Amino acid sequence: MFTAKMIAVCVVVMIAAIGSFTFFDKRGLVGAAKTSLVIGLLASLYCLAAGLFLLTDWQDPFATADPAALARTSATHGGKGGIVVLAIRFWPYVLIGLGGYFSYSSFSILRMMLRRRPHA
């Protein structure tokens, strides 16, 4: 049901939707801004649902890895490799957190835009 390719696409769309919303909103393109928010909201809800689904049967891919190899990998690029290793180890939680955050922010902005009255 939740494929890795679709999850990856939705993560990218979820993050890019906020940037495209800002781009359209600054130029006064309200319809395009709302469309961008709705697409971002749908992608973030998909990520949230995928994270909840993966939570039931997620197995740590680094469970059998050598701790010394993980330490060397984590130390690469000035210590930024450790964040990637943590994100992979706790991927369902990362999906739930990002999906929940972007769902809430997209929904809040969209609700505010729908309540805003156009100036006459």
Please check whether residue 30 is in contact with residue 72, taking contact to mean a CB–CB distance below 8 angstroms. no
Query: What is the structure's pLDDT at 64?
Result: 76
Q: Where along the chain do its domains lie?
A: 4-58+91-115
The pLDDT tens digits for 8-44 are: 999 999 999 989 999 998 998 988 989 999 999 999 9
Residue bearing the bigger pLDDT, 96 or 116? 96
pTM of the predicted protein model: 0.81
Residue range 89-113: average pLDDT? 91
